[in-house]
Amino acid sequence: MKPMYCYQNSCTGLVAHSDLDERAIEALKEFNEEGALAVLLQFKDSDLSHVQNKSAFLCGVMKTYRQREKQGTKVADSSKGPDESKIKALLERTGYTLDVTTGQRKYGGPPPESVHTGHQPSVGTEIFVGKVPRDLFEDELVPLFEKAGSIWDLRLMMDPLTGLNRGYAFVTFCTKEAAQEAVKLYNNHEIRSGKHIGVCISVANNRLFVGSIPKSKTKEQIVEEFSKVTEGLTDVILYHQPDDKKKNRGFCFLEYEDHKTAAQARRRLMSGKVKVWGNVVTVEWADPIEDPDPEVMAKVKVLFVRNLANTVTEEILEKAFGSFGKLERVKKLKDYAFIHFDDRVGAVKAMEEMNGKELEGENIEIVFAKPPDQKRKERKAQRQAAKNQMYDDYYYYGGPHIPPPSRGRGRGGRGGYGYPSDYYGYEDYYDYYGYDYHNYRGGYDDPFYGYEDFQVGSRGRGGRGARGAAPSRGRGAAPPRGRAGYSQRGGPGSSRGARGARGGAQQQRGRGGKGVEAGPDLLQ
Nearest to 171, CA basis, from 146, 196, 189: 146
Same domain, 68 and 107: no
**Does residue 110 have a cis peptide bond before it, meaning omega lies within 30 degrees of 0?**
yes
Same domain, 182 and 85: yes
The answer to the question of residue 319 being in a domain is yes
Instruction: Please answer whether residues 212 and 280 qualify as being in contact, where contact means their C-beta atoms are separated by less than 8 angstroms.
Output: yes
Put simply, whether the predicted model's pTM sits higher than 0.75 gets the answer: no
On the CB side of 69, how many CA atoms lie within 13 Å of its CA?
A: 12
| pLDDT at residue 185 is higher than 70 | yes
Same domain, 102 and 150: yes
Looking at 12-26, 211-225, 228-242, 396-410, which range is the least confident one? 396-410
CA–CA distance, 41 with 447 (Å, rounded to integer): 57
- Which range marks the domain in which residue 42 is found? 2-75
The answer to the question of residue 96 being in a domain is yes
Same domain, 92 and 122: yes
Domain boundary among 155, 178, 204: 204
Mean pLDDT of the 405-432 span:
33
Same domain, 221 and 200: no
Burial label, 374 (beta-carbon count in 10 A; 0-12, 13-18, 19+): exposed
Domain boundary among 349, 368, 387: 368
- Provide the CATH number for the domain around residue 220: 3.30.70.330
Same domain, 263 and 224: yes
Mean pLDDT of the 289-297 span:
73
Amino acid at 271: S
Same domain, 272 and 321: no
The answer to the question of residue 259 being in a domain is yes
* Number of domain units in the chain: 4
Question: For all residues of the chain together, what is the average pLDDT?
Answer: 71
Nearest to 276, CA basis, from 237, 221, 233: 221
| pLDDT at residue 30 is higher than 60 | yes
- Confidence at residue 288, expressed as pLDDT on a 0 to 100 scale: 64
Same domain, 134 and 60: no
If you write DSSP's letter for every residue of 408-452 in order, what string do you get? Answer: SS---SS-SSSPPTT--SSS--BTTB--B-S-IIIII--TTTTTS
CB atoms within 10 A of CB 453: 15
CA–CA distance, 237 with 239 (Å, rounded to integer): 7
Q: pLDDT per residue over 247-273, tens digit each?
A: 898 999 999 988 889 999 999 999 888
- Confidence at residue 372, expressed as pLDDT on a 0 to 100 scale: 66
- Confidence at residue 74, expressed as pLDDT on a 0 to 100 scale: 55
If you write DSSP's letter for every residue of 197-255 in order, what string do you get? Answer: EEEEEEEE--EEEEE---TT--HHHHHHHHHHH-S-EEEEEEEEETTEEEEEEEEEEEE
The answer to the question of residue 458 being in a domain is no
Same domain, 120 and 174: yes
Rg of the Cα trace of the chain?
Answer: 26
The answer to the question of residue 451 being in a domain is no
Domain boundary among 204, 236, 262: 204
Amino acid at 237: I
